[in-house]
Chain A
Amino acid sequence: MTTQDGGGILPGAGAGADGSTDDASAEARAEWAGRDALTLLNTDIPRVDGPEKVTGRAKYTHDMRLPEMVWAKLVVCPWPRATIEALDVTAARAVPGVVYAEAYKQVGDELTYQGYDGIVAAVAAETPEALEDGVRAVVTGYSRNNPPLVTREQSLADGAPQIGRGDVNMRVESSTGDREETAAALETCDAVIEATYTLPVQHHVCLETHGTVVDYRGGTEATVYHSSQNVTGGARDFARHLELDSENVRVICQHMGGGFGAKFGAGEEGRVACVIARALERPVHLMLDRRQEFLMAGNRSGSRQVMRGGASKDGKLVALSVDAEKFGGMGPGSLPRPPYIYDVGTSFAEVRQVHTATDPNRAQRAPGHPQASFAMECMVDELAYAIGMDPVSFRKANLSDEVWHRQLDRVAAEVDWAGHPNKTTPGQPGADGMAEGIGFGVAVWGSGSRPSTVCDVRIAPDGAISGSTAVQDLGTGSRTLVAAIVAEEFGLGVTDVTAHIGDGKLPPAVYSGGSITTGSIASAIKDGAYQARVLLEPSVAAALGTEPGHLIWLDGRVYVDHALGRSLSWKQACATLAQPILGTGRWQEHLTGRGVHGAQSAKVRVDTVTGRIQVLKMVYIQDMGLPFNRLASRSQINGGMIGALSYGLHEVRVLDEDTGLMLTDGLGDYRIAGPQEIPELVALIDDEDTRQEAMGFAEAPIIPGHGAIANAVFNACGARLRDLPLTPDKVLAALAG
């Protein structure tokens, strides 16, 4: 770390200030400072909105309370396929306090899937209690249409009603490689594994349900509070639903209770809120209840992958044939093209969409990747054991990008793989029936950025400094990133800078999806801060008797690089300004990068008597270009590992095959990992990645964990589980045989 003593030329804390004397050339532009020169970035930065969140002051969409606001709720048919036999809102309208009750469907209408199509009416009332009475007073009756079409078997049965796009229940989405050629290559392998891997539909379970508070009181303008991953792009939907010009619709999302990919666009719940607001010309609070969140707010598609994989005895993946099905309900589902990460000599993959009469899938943290990873990591593992090779060595032999090699070595070391007794064959339980094992997996993500973000950096003569961009903060820490990058430029503390985000009236920002937020906004923030510094330095340099380019901004002061005794405090420096200055920052390609890697190890203990799996430890390492906030980055890595553990061991959506009713429509029945299920977690940032580029990464850590756990179970006791979640009954069945 650079220090002030010695009187030499110090590297600047910010971009472009590399200490050279002639950096005012035409090439001058924002550049990330070297990691040794950073004083705030690349350290642990507690998030700037933490105090608001931990004291309950942070206002989420759910928390908006506006004068004259009414409470609204959807009335939803629970059956996937039904015909409406009765629908009458007359009694609801008569309930005291109810101000709106409308049916959106008619008797005789056919409801075609569980989800948005099941919205039959909505009610609004003065209080939540009156709303409850009003919803209960809506008369509905349905006859179920059989079969409910909620399972693969029902959907693919002869004579099944065809419900998907183009009136088919199954369509081939892509076919790559040559089936026969691959079959021939499999014949040449020393070991061939045939296996089917299945993963159920997973829910996002955002703790704040989907919804909006639409503040429209007539006229030509509206403000919409929306739990949203796309503040800037959100106005369009709401403007259409409100029949207003989109520049007159302001979307606000100061804080949001999770998104995970499910919160783009207004949704039907947002549209209905607008319809009610237009009818009443009063603010409308409409959030899905927890049950509706499960029924209609999206999911991660399920997957069934039938694989034949083959390896040579020297440890090469020779051939892989995959027939994959995606279960995205009425949606297409997601799955990256097999063989996914690994290099395979000859491969064939056919990917099919299979539709059921259920809620369409939506993007969910690393869409499709956890499904592809589980099948591929298990197949790779099975082949490694089949040829008697250490699964770490086998992976490295089939991964061309060497970043994974060092990462695998690191996560292997953290669980003492070298000292583990059984590396090429599964272990045996001890006298107590317990067996311990270790498993692995790797992750990839494209990341990258979009050029749409603009960030304004303002500095006032009184020392007030802010960064402003409309970006939302899903909990990843984007608000803190705005403040931190600006603060770094001027040697300030993160709390010295005010970050304005989450408001459609601010300069536009990118949506948050695919881990592109950091790459997109960081460069614009940096550029804005740089532009502001260029505007600030002339008057400050004059006051210090030097030239711009000879200033060092550090620890809340500004120094002259060749005369450190001459300095001003931040406030004194700003006081040299005659008026406020504004730096307008835009996306800068040279400040961003793409492509991240991760590796996972997991250590488990399996009770071979009861079948219970206890995860003891998970280690994950992630590269991320220039790490901005190490604390928040570790939080994201932990979150990924826990998400994968939860998916691997606990989560499963269950629909009753006879009626189609969702049996797991609450947090009591749809289990997610809680405090008791959390193992020792080691979240590592890969500091061997020296790219001086901004990029997001947080999709990646959720990809390989459940595969690594399944592989650890096999390593422990020889139980190969190919179907999530990894429950005790499956362990016992696998051990039996």
Chain B
Amino acid sequence: MAERPPLDRPAPDGHGGGFSRRSFLKGASSVIAAGGVAARSLEAGMTEGAEAAGAGAPVISGETEITLDINGAARKLRAEPRTTLLSALRVRLPEPLTGTKEVCDRGNCGACTVIVDGRPVYSCLQLAVDLQDKRITTVEGLGSPEDMSPVQAAFCRHDALMCGFCTPGFVMATTACLDKHGTPSEATVRHELSGNLCRCGTYPHIFEAAQTAAKSRAGGGLR
């Protein structure tokens, strides 16, 4: 039965010397950084990067020091052009912020959601070097256990978490939803949270928490 077709290469992503779509995208980012192009979606960045490369822009590689505005403070860190914002937060910061979770690292699940200039983004799809002039808010920046934001407090009250691994992403997405819509309908909440996944099954309690937080914020104490 041991029929042997030719060697199967390149192997899929991350296995045995293969060159993946993602590694290509992250590689392309080095040129964006050098070009000083403002942050944009990964796809747009790739296009710009390719153009810049064609124009002979300088390519940086290896570690450089960058500064990110995280939770209202300027944080210096060393990062490579391909370092994602997620990795910058979780690994590269001298005092890592591990509240932002890595689950799929592919933009499928929303666990790594942070708020950049007021908009929720997947930090696994953002390159840290692109974000040096942006305001980044992570789950740690919303509140502390002693002083929780309305969304965080409502999540606790409604038990909108079980294992808690998707929770930071949902807290950020819910916060962004309420920032955008004020007092959204449940349908709007579902829509705005539809980029996030939970495996324990906390969704109904998250929907309840969003409504409670919206009321609480409407009553003052906006954060």
Q: A75-B15, A75-B16 are in contact. Are A65 and B98 (CB under 8 A)?
A: yes
Pick the contact of B101 from A207, A475, A631, A681 — CB < 8 Å? A207
A85 to B8, CA, bound (A): 10
B window 72-111: CB within 8 A of A: 80, 82-83, 87, 90-91, 96-106, 108-109, 111
Q: Is A577 an interface residue (CB 8 A)?
A: no
B199 at the interface (CB under 8 A from A): yes
Out of A128, A142, A205, A666, which one reaches B7, CB within 8 Å?
A142
- Please indicate the chain A residues that have their CB under 8 angstroms from the CB of B34 in the complex: none
For window 360-410 of A, CB contacts with B under 8 Å fall at none
Is A135 interfacial (CB-CB < 8 Å)?
A: yes
Q: Which of B15, B142, B203 contacts A55 (CB 8 A)?
A: B142
Assess the B17–A137 pair: CB atoms within 8 A.
yes
- Which of A129, A143, A631, A636 is the one whose CB lies under 8 Å from B4? A143
**A348→B7 CA distance, assembly (Å):** 49
Binds A, one of B41-49, B161-169, B214-222: B161-169
Q: Which of B4, B146, B165 contacts A207 (CB 8 A)?
A: B165
Given A142-B8, A290-B106, A674-B194, decide whether A83 and B145 contact each other with a Cβ distance below 8 A.
no
Given contacts A51-B145, A63-B98, A161-B1, contact A77 B15 (CB under 8 A): yes
Contacts A46-B156, A56-B168, A75-B15 known; A289 to B8 CB distance under 8 Å?
A: no
Contact B201 A136 (CB under 8 A): no
Interface digits, A677-718 against B, CB 8 Å rule (1 contact, 0 not)?
010010000000000000000000000000000000000000
Task: Tell whether, in the assembled complex, residue A53 and residue B161 are in contact, meaning their CB atoms are under 8 Å apart.
Answer: yes
Cα separation A328 to B72 with both chains bound (whole Å): 51
Residues on the A chain within 8 Å of B87, using CB: 128-129
B196 in complex: contacting residue of A86, A631, A675, CB < 8 Å: A675
CA distance A62 to B102 in the complex (A): 8
Query: Is the pair A56, B108 in contact by a Cβ cutoff of 8 Å?
Result: no
A647-690 interface (Cβ within 8 A of B): 659, 661, 666-668, 672-676, 678, 681
Kindly report which residue of chain B lies nearest to residue A480, judged by CB atoms: B159
Give the residues in chain B near A475, CB-CB below 8 Å.
Answer: 161-164, 200
Enumerate chain B residues within 8 angstroms of A76, measured Cβ to Cβ. Answer: 15
* CB < 8 Å neighbour of B15 from A58, A78, A255, A474: A78
User: Could you say which of B12, B19, B207 has the most chain A C-beta atoms within 10 Å of its C-beta?
Assistant: B12
* Docked pose: A411 CA to B148 CA in angstroms: 37
Instruction: Kindly supply a per-residue 1/0 record for chain A positions 59-94, scoring 1 wherever the CB is within 8 Å of any chain B CB and 0 otherwise.
Output: 110110100000000011111000101100000000
Q: Does A641 contact B (CB under 8 A)?
A: yes
- Given A143-B4, A474-B163, A476-B162, the answer on whether A57 and B16 have CB atoms closer than 8 Å is no
Q: Does A11 contact B (CB under 8 A)?
A: no
CB distance from B95 to the nearest CB of A (A): 9
- Tell me if B54 counts as interface (CB < 8 A to partner A): no
With A77-B16, A290-B106, A681-B204 known as contacts, the answer to whether A56 contacts B97 (CB < 8 A) is yes
Check A129–B83 contact: CB distance below 8 A: yes
Cross-chain contact B166 with A207 (CB below 8 angstroms): yes
Bound Cα distance A523, B112 (Å)? 39
Answer whether residue A2 sits at the interface, using C-beta atoms and an 8 A cutoff. no
* Chain B window 99-135, contacts with chain A (Cβ cutoff 8 Å), 1 for yes, 0 for no: 1111111101101000000000000000000000000
Complex Cα–Cα for A673 and B199 (A): 8
Residues from chain B with a CB closer than 8 A to the CB of A217 are none
Q: Which A632-647 residues sit within 8 Å CB-CB of chain B?
A: 632, 634-636, 638-643
A666: which B residues are within 8 A, CB to CB?
104, 106, 108
Question: Does A7 count as interface, using CB distance less than 8 angstroms?
Answer: no
User: Which residue of B101, B105, B152, B203 contacts A54 across the interface (Cβ within 8 Å)?
Assistant: B152
Interchain CB contact (< 8 A) of A127 among B23, B91, B168, B207: B91
Question: How many Å from the CB of B36 to the closest CB on chain A?
Answer: 22
How many chain B residues touch A (Cβ–Cβ < 8 Å)? 79
CB of A291 closer than 8 Å to a CB of B: yes
Residues of A within 8 A of B8 (CB): 79, 141-144, 659
A597 within 8 A of B: no
Residues 474-487 of chain A: 1 if any B CB is under 8 Å from the residue's CB, otherwise 0?
Answer: 11110000000000
Please report the C-alpha to C-alpha distance between residue A431 and residue B200 in the assembled complex, in whole angstroms: 38
- Asked if B184 is an interface residue, CB under 8 A from chain A, the answer is no
A290 touches B103 (CB 8 A): yes
Q: Once the chains bind, are A291 and B108 in contact (CB under 8 Å)? A: no
Closest to B205 in A: A635
Q: Is B4 touching A639 in the complex (CB atoms < 8 A)?
A: no
Evaluate whether A678 and B14 lie within 8 angstroms (CB atoms) in the complex, with A144-B5, A161-B1 already known: no
Nearest A-chain residue to B6, judged by Cβ: A143
1/0 per residue, CB under 8 A from A, across B1-45: the answer is: 111111111011111111100010000000000000000000000
- Residue among A54, A63, A257 making CB contact with B156, cutoff 8 Å: A54
- Contact (Cβ within 8 A) B201 A140: no
Within 170-191 of B, Cβ neighbours of A (below 8 Å) are at 171, 189-191
Contact in complex: A56, B201 (CB < 8 Å): no
Query: Which residues in window 263-318 of A have CB below 8 A to B?
Result: 289-291
Is A220 interfacial (CB 8 A cutoff)? no
A62 and B16: CB pair below 8 A? Answer: no
From B187, which residue of chain A is reached at the shortest CB distance? A676
**Docked-complex contact B145 and A668, CB < 8 angstroms:** no
The contact of A676 among B82, B163, B191, by CB within 8 Å, is B191
Give the distance to chain A from B173, nearest Cβ to Cβ, in Å. Answer: 9
Complex Cα distance, B8 from A54, in Å, reads: 45
List chain A residues, Cβ under 8 A from B162. Answer: 475-477, 635-636, 639
B-chain residues with CB within 8 Å of residue A62 when the two chains form the complex: 98, 101-102
Q: Which residues of A contact B155 (CB under 8 A)?
A: 50, 54
B29 to chain A, nearest CB (A): 12
A643 lies within 8 A of B201 (CB)? yes
Please tell me if B157 contacts chain A, counting CB pairs below 8 Å.
yes
Q: Does B193 contact A (CB under 8 A)?
A: yes
Identify which of residues 80-132 in chain A touch chain B, using a CB-to-CB cut-off of 8 Å.
83, 85-86, 120, 127-129, 132
Note all chain B residues with C-beta closer than 8 A to A83.
2, 4
Q: What CA separation (Å) do A674 and B195 show in the bound complex?
A: 8
Q: Given the known A-B contacts A57-B140, A65-B98, A143-B5, are A639 and B202 also in contact in the complex, defined by CB atoms under 8 Å? A: yes
Cα separation A58 to B97 with both chains bound (whole Å) = 11
* Residues of the A chain whose Cβ atoms lie less than 8 Å from the Cβ of B14: 132, 135-136, 289, 291
Roughly how many angstroms separate A643 CA and B200 CA in the complex, as a whole number?
8
A51 close to B201 (CB less than 8 A): no
Q: Find out whether the CB atom of A208 lies under 8 angstroms from the CB atom of B165.
A: yes
Q: How far is the CA of A525 from the CA of B96 in the complex (A)?
A: 36
User: Is there an interface contact between B165 and A55, defined as CB atoms closer than 8 Å?
Assistant: no
Q: List 21 A-B contacts (CB under 8 A).
A: A50-B155, A51-B145, A51-B148, A52-B145, A54-B156, A57-B144, A62-B98, A65-B91, A137-B17, A138-B17, A143-B7, A144-B4, A161-B1, A207-B166, A208-B165, A290-B105, A635-B205, A659-B8, A666-B108, A674-B194, A675-B206
Residues of A within 8 A of B (CB): 44, 46-47, 49-60, 62-63, 65, 75-79, 83, 85-86, 120, 127-129, 132, 135-147, 159-161, 204-208, 255-258, 260, 289-291, 474-477, 631-632, 634-636, 638-643, 659, 661, 666-668, 672-676, 678, 681
10 A-B pairs besides A129-B87, A255-B164, A635-B205 with CB distance below 8 A are A53-B167, A55-B139, A55-B143, A75-B15, A135-B15, A146-B1, A207-B165, A256-B163, A290-B106, A666-B104
